[in-house]
Structure formats: C-alpha cells, structure tokens
Amino acid sequence: MSGLRVIKPGPQSVLQDGGRRGWQHLGVSPAGPLDGHAAAWANHLLNNAWGTPLLEIALGDVELQAEVDTWVAVCGAQMPLSVDDQPQPLWTRLPLRKGQHLRLGFARSGQRAYLAVAGGFCAEPVLGSVSVQLREGFGRALQVGDRLACRSAHFSHRASAPWPYLGHYSGTPLLRVITGGDAAEFAEDQLQRFFAQSWRLSPLSDRMGARLLGEPLQPPARQWSLGVARGAIQVPADGQPIILQADHQTMGGYPLLGWLHPLDQGRLAQCPAHHSLRFTPISISDAQAELREFYRFFRR
C-alpha cells in the first residue's frame, strides 16, 4: 500500500491511536497521544473516527513525501508547516498530492504536533492498538525510508478549527487538579503549598511522567502499592511531585495527592523543560461535566 514516505523522521515521531486499553492488569500501559485535544482536532477535521491512528511529532524537523493523493491536518505545537516549500496553516484540512513534500520545522511554541491523514494510517495492531510505547517495546519511532501507509482521499474544500479551540502554549498554564487518593493524609499546609507555589517542569520528564521541581512537599507514609491511572499526581519521598503521562506504569506506591484534569493533560504535554506551572483545585463533578462535553463533540 502506498502512503507517506519518511525523508526526515524528526527527534521522535511515533504512531498513536486511542490507546492500548484493557491490558493494565498485565502491566501494559495504555499509551496514546499526550495531547488529546490536538489529536482529536486533527482527526476531526478529516472526518476520522475518534482514536484513528495518527502521527505524534515531538519538536518537529519532519519531512514526508506523498505517494498518493490525500488530505492531511496538523494540529498542536506551532511548527512551521509547508507543502513543496509553500507555507500552510496549522489546524486546517489540506490537500497533499502525489509527489509533494510536506515539511514541519522545529517547534516555536509547544512540544508536540499531530499529523492526521484522511482515513488514518494503516498499521498492524498489537494487543488491539497501533500506539507506539517505546519503554515496553511496542513499535518504534519513525526512521528514514519508512512508509506510513494510507489510502487516497478527496475533499471538496479546506476546513479549519474555530479559533477559540486552537492551542495556545505560551505563558504559565493554570492546570486543574481533582484532589483525592491520599490527599486527606497530607498536612493541610502541604496541600496549600502545592497549590500556592509555581512549579517548574523537570528536563527529566517524558511520555511516562512529568516531573515537577519546586519547594518540596512532605508526603505522608504509604505502606502499599495500588493501580494508577494517567494524570495521577504522585509525591515521592523527595517531595517533588510526578504527574503520570500516557506511558505510565500500572502500579505505584507513592502517595497520591490527586489527579490532573484529563482535559489539562494536553496543556502539560506541550510545556518545554523548565517551563513554569501552577495548579488550582477543581471538583470531580465539574471535571466530569467538561469531559462529557468533550467526548460528546469528538465521539459523535
């Protein structure tokens, strides 16, 4: 099958879909896109179903050559996008003709962009998913000469995401947290310290976890391990919180302060190393209402 041939793969470009669900009891993390908002819009612009396989591009510097007439959309980080050296807009459905070269420069703002193609990329699923998870050996990053298989497609016109829904990645994001887990075991002044201070994102952060740097917290003791989910905020003995990302482990023994709002996980994933972060509490009912609205729109 023809598709998009990889001329330059970038620092780390990996296929992702809705995630590898239903295997955490065997120690397999779900993976999936780090920025679900940008990934959802890239697929939506092409009338693809929720979770259709697309390409997550970290930092940029990617070049692909089309071997088929199709349409694409790139959403997420501000990476200069061009087709045959002609600048093109992000967050927009674009035609890509056989023989043309699509290029993405290095990110100017944000960290990850999502390239979707009409109908999605075709790849052999493993445990029900094509999501690449490098730590556990599920797939690998793109290499020069790879082919991203896809089918030809046609639309009658371009389309763009409405401007209020575009990602904006500058400034200090205020990320919302659902307190819970072991939060009641933390001293009240420690919870206040978490929300009152400005944290920095550690350069040791990756797809497994976002590590925070700041005035250390004093976590309570924990005597057992339990299952953990994406967005869980662990506080190890050094007092520097870790927010679990898409490639998180499935069990953990560090005390849990709460969970990052699912719709703010993408904003966290777009922050570069040493970026400032602040947090504010949100009720679980408000978070659930927002998440239901998100899924109603993208899964209809």
Q: What is the pLDDT of residues 72-87, one digit of tens each?
A: 999 999 999 999 999 9
Give the residue from 148, 165, 182 where a domain finishes.
165
Confidence class for position 134, pLDDT limits 50, 70, 90: very high
Residue 231 and residue 106 in one domain: no
Mean pLDDT of 293-299: 90
Residue 285, pLDDT above cutoff 70: yes
Residue 182 and residue 75 in one domain: no
Give the residue from 102, 130, 165 where a domain finishes.
165
Residue 53, pLDDT above cutoff 90: yes
Mean pLDDT of 108-128: 96
State whether residue 70 is helix, strand or coil: strand
The pLDDT assigned to 224 comes to 82
Q: Which helix (H) or strand (E) holds 266?
A: helix 265-269
The pLDDT assigned to 248 comes to 94
- Of 231, 237, 46, which Cα lies nearest the Cα of 153? 46
Residue 151 and residue 197 in one domain: no
Instruction: Domain of residue 143: give its range.
Output: 3-165
Which contacts (CB < 8 Å, 24+ apart) does range 132-135 have? 132/14, 132/15, 132/16, 132/31, 133/20, 133/29, 133/31, 133/247, 134/14, 134/207, 134/247, 135/29, 135/207, 135/208, 135/247
The pLDDT assigned to 300 comes to 61
Residue 19 and residue 153 in one domain: yes
Q: How far is CA 17 from CA 50, 88, 296, in A?
A: 8, 25, 18
**Domains held by the chain: number:** 2
Give the residue from 116, 132, 165 where a domain finishes.
165
Residue 237 and residue 291 in one domain: yes
Residue 85 and residue 122 in one domain: yes
Q: Which residues contact 285 (CB under 8 A, 6 or more apart)?
A: none
Residue 88, pLDDT above cutoff 80: yes
- State the Cα angle at 39 between 290 and 70, rounded to 5°: 140
Confidence class for position 142, pLDDT limits 50, 70, 90: very high
Query: Pairing state of beta strands 174-179 and 276-281?
Result: parallel
Residue 145 and residue 226 in one domain: no
Proportion of the chain above pLDDT 90, given as a percent: 88
Residue 246 and residue 184 in one domain: yes
The pLDDT assigned to 10 comes to 96
Residue 209, pLDDT above cutoff 70: yes
Residue 236 and residue 213 in one domain: yes
Residue 244, pLDDT above cutoff 80: yes
Answer for the pair 94, 124: CB distance below 8 angstroms, yes or no: no
Mean pLDDT of 95-100: 96
Residue 200, pLDDT above cutoff 70: yes
CATH number at residue 254: 2.40.100.10
Over residues 224-242, the pLDDT tens digits come to 888 999 999 999 999 999 9
Over residues 12-24, the pLDDT tens digits come to 999 999 999 999 9
Residue 121 and residue 231 in one domain: no
Residue 51 and residue 149 in one domain: yes
Q: Which two tokens stand for residue 197?
A: 């201070």
State whether residue 84 is helix, strand or coil: coil
The pLDDT assigned to 171 comes to 84
Residue 153, pLDDT above cutoff 90: no
Q: Which two tokens stand for residue 34?
A: 């780090």
Query: Pairing state of beta strands 159-160 and 12-16?
Result: unpaired
**pTM higher than 0.85:** yes
The pLDDT assigned to 221 comes to 85
Residue 146 and residue 239 in one domain: no
